[in-house]
Amino acid sequence: MIGTIDIPLIWAFIIAFSVFVYVVMDGFDLGLGILFPLFPKKADRDVMMNSVAPVWDGNETWLVLGGGGLFAAFPLAYAVLMPALYTPMIAMLIGLVFRGVAFEFRWRSQRERNRWDTAFFGGSLLAALAQGIALGAILQGVHVEGRAYAGGWWDWLTPFSILTGVALIAGYCLLGATWLVMKTTGDLREKAYHLSWWLLFAMLGAIGTVSLATPFLDAEYARRWFAWPNILLTAPVPVAVAAVTALLLRSLANRQDYRPFFLALALFALSYAGLGISMYPYIVPRSITIWQAAAPHSSQVFMLVGVAVLVPIILAYTAWAYWVFRGKVDPESGYH
């Protein structure tokens, strides 16, 4: 579209932004849940839970915006991807249900606390795995005929999607551990520091493996990354990953409580940018582009007005909520 603003592209960025905000915000909640079995003490678990209790609901709302926004701005992509990802989506939703109710339920019964802690762990793990699998399944492409998904209901399950599932778990755990470093004190923080080392290497391994496997999915991905002159644009991504890793290692060694979390977020941002490079300009890889899936102009413009006005306000009061509950969680108090 020459001479006019490319609204579908703006919307692609908005959806990508929502999903990214979701991944980094709910990522640390979910990672913290996955790490629960490594922190068996009730007092530790109380602190861990309380460090995210005031914000988890807002974090999860970005997932609803990502899904709802996709439905509204790219209905064709939503209509194709959801049936293609049927089982991982249902699994993710059920995982989120278990994880979500555990936030309140575990405080309501001494006797059943362990049960809800298990639900919190299991739900977080299931949701993270399913999200990672969904990512892999999207990258490897889905079978489309006409305006509908035409594959089977197990197509999503491949070694590659399992790999991305495990990779995302590793990444979320790193976010969770560095979050704990930032929000806690004493033995809990020590343990989180220790875990962060291991999880950083796990995440790097995961990023490396997924990056190496992706070009083998399709020649187009390989050309995108390695052909001249694209490589001039793509080469900085791995270089930046290496630089962030070095900074992260140093901040862990120097025990800077706040920095590791934000550097881990930077690693996520870089991986995410890498995914964007691989996928563009498709919204369903190699089947449907951003423009093919776009809702009519009137729908996208109508929503864009709302997004332009409301998202800055949302970010402002979300920041305020984080500010209210800033700093270390007081282990002595059930309150914050």
Site for other proteins in 92-111 (CB under 8 A): 93-94, 96-98, 100-101, 103-105, 107-110
Among 29, 44, 60, 155, binds other proteins (CB under 8 A): 60
- Distance of closest approach, residue 10 Cβ to other proteins, in angstroms: 14
φ, ψ (nearest 5 deg) of residue 254:
-85, 0
Among 38, 87, 215, 247, binds other proteins (CB under 8 A): 87
Q: CB-wise, 71 or 272, nearer to other proteins?
A: 71
- Per CB under 8 A, 157 contacts other proteins: no
d(CA 328, CA 226): 45
- Distance of closest approach, residue 300 Cβ to other proteins, in angstroms: 8
- Distance of closest approach, residue 80 Cβ to other proteins, in angstroms: 7
Q: CB-wise, 105 or 197, nearer to other proteins?
A: 105
Q: Who's near 179: CB < 8 A, 6+ residues apart?
A: 28, 31, 32, 51, 52, 261
> Can the peptide bond before residue 238 be classed as cis, meaning omega within 30 degrees of 0?
no
d(CA 109, CA 111): 5
- Per CB under 8 A, 76 contacts other proteins: yes
Cα distances (Å, whole numbers) of residue 330 to 39, 87, 103, 210, 284 = 17, 40, 18, 39, 46
Tokens 């190496």 -> residue: 212
Joined tokens for residue 163: 């790999």
235: Cα separation from own chain's centroid: 23
Q: CB-wise, 80 or 174, nearer to other proteins?
A: 80
d(CA 231, CA 264): 25
- Distance of closest approach, residue 320 Cβ to other proteins, in angstroms: 8
Among 57, 239, 253, 258, binds other proteins (CB under 8 A): 57
Site residue total, other proteins (CB under 8 A)? 73
317, with CB counted inside 10 A (0-12, 13-18, 19+), is: exposed
Q: CB-wise, 181 or 295, nearer to other proteins?
A: 295
- Distance of closest approach, residue 299 Cβ to other proteins, in angstroms: 4
Among 148, 233, 235, 253, binds other proteins (CB under 8 A): 148
- Distance of closest approach, residue 65 Cβ to other proteins, in angstroms: 5
- Distance of closest approach, residue 73 Cβ to other proteins, in angstroms: 7
User: Contact letters (x/-) for other proteins, 292-331, by CB under 8 A?
Assistant: ---xx-xx--xx--xx--xx--x--xx-xx--xx------
d(CA 134, CA 136): 5
In this structure, what DSSP letter does residue 283 have?
E
